[in-house]
Amino acid sequence: MLSYLNSPTRHLFFTGKGGVGKTSLACASAVKLADAGHNVLLISTDPASNLEQVLEAPVGPEVASVDTVPHLSAINIDPEQAADAYRERVVEPMMGVLPEDTVAQVEEQLSGACTTEIAAFDKFTQFLADSEATAPYDHIVFDTAPTGHTLRLLELPAAWSDFIEDNPEGASCLGPVSGLEAQQDRYTEAVEALNDSDRTTLVLVARPERSALHEAARSSGELRDLGITNQQLVVNGVFQAQDPGDPLAAAMQQRADDAVAQIPDEIADLPRDVVPLKGHNLVGLHALRTLLDDDATPASTTEGPERAPSVSLPTVQDLVSGFADDGHGLIMTMGKGGVGKTTIAAAVAVELAERGEDVLLTTTDPAAHIHDTIGDSQPNLTVEAIDPNEATEQYRERVLKTKGKNLDPEERELLEEDLRSPCTQEVAVFRAFSRVVGQARRQFVVVDTAPTGHTLLLLDTTGSYHREVLRTADVDEQRITTPLMRLQDPDYTKMLLVTLPETTPVLEAKQLQDDLERAGITPYAWVVNQSLAAAGPTDPLLVERAHAEMPQIETVQNDYASRTALAPWMPNEPTGPDRLRDLAAGRMGVGRAHA
């Protein structure tokens, strides 16, 4: 029994970066409480929800009993549908009242991730603030908690209509809040419920990986600053090697042990639970109940496959061969945090430099990190780094001096909160990147971390770069080439979408692809990174997990990507030119693991 289930509060919120298993833990916790006789309501906003398969019963957009689990009710809120309804509610009163270009800007503001999160929380609040509606339930389990940024937005003054009308080139993330005034009292009650440690527990879910633990620490500090202090940490998917002769298994266990030993100070003292890694997908009630079963073995089933599957897909090296003869161009890696896009960018840069090409690698990661990844200086390769915090601060100062100079105190407070949003950093970093985009006319420029389509369209609709250049140019428009136009040119830019062979990261990468395509950008290829199937393990648990990867790899290859490359999970951290070349060539695993 996990510690937060010993004396559970009425509200349990699960949060964590994509792919750490928060949905599985939320469902397993809800079933555990229901099995103990408590009346439980499970609320999910997972866009890739497979609640029906997990619970082996229908789950829809309205609260209903789960036939297969007595005492359990569930609702599956579709965040995209919630966001569509929210957008319509906000934009409709503006139609025919505000200028068309202002309405277009608001619509683009409402297309971002902030809107989806706020719309989902809009749905959440009825289960937090309406005690009469939730009276039948002893416990309410929420899959996905609001971020600190969203909660701060809810606490701001409701002055959005005037602010947007008076500042058509202003807020990038605050537009979504323009529809919140009517429910201000409900949101206040909801935030109070979140801050009440007697009623609410926030469960931070992480994998035993440095990036996931640091994300949990960041979320913990941000929410603690807002008064949400009743926090628990669950380290999910902790692996114990069973085949001592498998170098992959030994390395995986050692890397996890090192990450947990160096856990960030912000979460080191939180109550902590550990959940062992399972070999099977958590589909079906039996599999779900084993997740929190102290007596369940973490090993693969005795009927599991004996060997890892055979996979034949192009490597990162093969992708590079497809554009290396161009002699120059912009190569951008993008993806959610923790998928390894920095490593893939470094591998591409080293591979191009090895072929004698002049290469610039630039990144928003701290300089020490990218230099540690590359290792010793390489012929033909220059490494730069942009400090995202410095770029963001410079951008904030400029915006406050220009757009903020004539605002009254309340409007300035709104603008300052907007400038603390994730979108602001993305816009600021892209402006810093823009100076190197033109260099790809003369050499290969590899950029780690690309802007999303939402950010690019936001820059476009506000006229802050692309359209502003065209509007103020004194020369023929056809001779103007802006950074956005270069990103839209497939001969100039090759966008590599990096993901992991797991359900949530693949879905998030598909959402990024849809986002980019709205901005007129089609990714050149997908890279499925850290694949156990490509590494050829012999440890029985890892073999079982390698087989579980195959449906996701096939979905990427057959449904989403025009080109697909596979990169193996490496026994050693892929740092330094030799290991990066091995990663690019897919040289890890199959031969050595089965030797």
Evaluate whether 299 touches 242 at the Cβ level (below 8 Å).
Answer: yes
Distance of alpha carbon 216 from alpha carbon 209, whole angstroms: 11
Phi, then psi, of 452 in degrees rounded to 5: -75, 165
The residue from 15, 23, 333, 493 that is catalytic is 23
The catalytic position among 144, 150, 455, 504 is 504
452 catalytic? Reply is: no
Sheet holding 272-276, edge to edge: 64-65, 72-76, 40-44, 139-143, 11-15, 200-206, 231-238, 272-276
Residue type, 81: Q
Q: Among residues 484, 568, 586, 483, which one has the least CA distance to residue 530? A: 568
Indicate the burial class of 595 (C-beta count within 10 angstroms; 0-12, 13-18, 19 or more): exposed
d(CA 425, CA 438): 21
Active site residue 22: yes
In three-state secondary structure terms, 36 is coil
* The pair of three-digit structure tokens given for residue 349, joined into one six-digit string: 């840069």
Two tokens, residue 466: 């692309």
Q: Is 482 a catalytic residue?
A: no
Pick from 424, 421, 428, 434: which is nearest to 332 by CA? 434
For the record, the structure tokens of 161 come out as 């209509």
- 170 belongs to the catalytic site: no
Catalytic residue check, 21: yes
Q: Which residues, listed in sequence order, are joined to residue 329 by a DSSP beta bridge?
A: 444
Active-site residue (options: 24, 73, 315, 531): 24
CB contact at 8 A, 282 and 288: yes
Which one is catalytic: 18, 21, 404, 589? 21
Across 456-472, b (16+ Cβ under 10 Å) vs e yields bbbbbbbbbbbbebeee
- Of 15, 16, 18, 19, which residue is the catalytic one? 19
Q: Note the Cα 318 to chain centre separation in Å.
A: 27
Distance CA 41, CA 143 (A): 11
Residue of 17, 29, 46, 452 with catalytic role: 46
Catalytic positions: 19, 21-24, 46, 504
